[in-house]
Amino acid sequence: MTSTDLSYLTCIQQAHLIKTREISPVELVSASLARIERYEPILKAWITVEGERALEKAREAEAEIMAGRYRGPLHGLPYGVKDQMHALGFPTTLGTRVLDAHEMVAPHDATIISRLTQAGAILLGKQNQHEWGKGGTIDFPYGQPRNPWNPAYDASSSSTGSGIAAAAGQCSFSIGEDTGGSVRGPASCNGVVGLRPTFGRISRHGGVMAGYSSDTFGPLARSVEDIAAIMEAVSGHDPRDVLSSPRPVPRFTEALHGDLRGMKLAVVREIAYGDGVDPEVQAAFEASVAVLKDQGATIEEISLPLAKWAVPLQMLTTDADVASWFLANYLRDRYDRFDVGTRTRLAASALIPASVYHRAMRARTVVRGQVLDALRRYDALLTPTNVTPPRLIEAARENLTDSGDVIPKLIRRRIAHYPFSLSNVPAMSVPNGFSSDGLPLALQIAGRPFGESTVFQVGHAYQQATGWHQSHPDLQKTLATGQ
Q: For the domain that residue 146 is a member of, what is the CATH number?
A: 3.90.1300.10
In this prediction, residue 206 carries a pLDDT of 97
Q: Tell me the pLDDT tens digit for each residue of 156-167.
A: 989 999 999 999
In this prediction, residue 408 carries a pLDDT of 63
In this prediction, residue 404 carries a pLDDT of 66
Give catalytic residues, as residue numbers: 82, 158, 182
Judge whether residue 136 has pLDDT over 80: yes
In this prediction, residue 328 carries a pLDDT of 73
What whole-number distance in Å separates Cα of residue 41 and Cα of residue 483? 9
Angle at 136 between CA 133 and CA 138, to 5 degrees: 110
In 42-192, the DSSP E strands lie at: 46-49, 78-82, 122-127, 173-178
Q: Which H or E element spans position 311?
A: helix 310-326
Q: For 447, which DSSP code?
A: E
In this prediction, residue 275 carries a pLDDT of 85
Query: What is the pLDDT averaged over residues 74-102?
Result: 97
Question: Which amino acid, one-letter code, is at 396?
Answer: A
Judge whether residue 400 has pLDDT over 80: no
Judge whether residue 450 has pLDDT over 80: yes
Q: How many Cβ atoms from other residues are within 10 Å of residue 358's Cβ? A: 11
Q: Tell me the pLDDT tens digit for each residue of 193-244.
A: 999 999 999 999 999 987 878 899 999 999 999 999 999 999 999 999 999 9
Residue range(s) defining the domain that contains residue 438: 3-482
Residue 137 and residue 161 in contact, taking contact as beta carbons nearer than 8 Å? no
Query: What is the pLDDT averaged over residues 68-90?
Result: 98
Question: What is the number of domains present in the chain?
Answer: 1
Please give the distance of CA 170 from its chain centroid, rounded to a whole number: 16
In this prediction, residue 432 carries a pLDDT of 98
Which of 245, 251, 235, 178 lies closest to 202 in space, CA to CA? 235
Q: Tell me the pLDDT tens digit for each residue of 19-63.
A: 999 999 999 999 999 999 999 999 999 999 999 999 999 999 999
Query: What is the pLDDT averaged over residues 356-379?
Result: 97
Q: Which H or E element spans position 275?
A: none
Q: Tell me the pLDDT tens digit for each residue of 265-319.
A: 999 999 999 888 999 999 999 999 999 999 999 999 999 999 989 999 999 999 9
Query: What is the pLDDT averaged over residues 360-373?
Result: 97
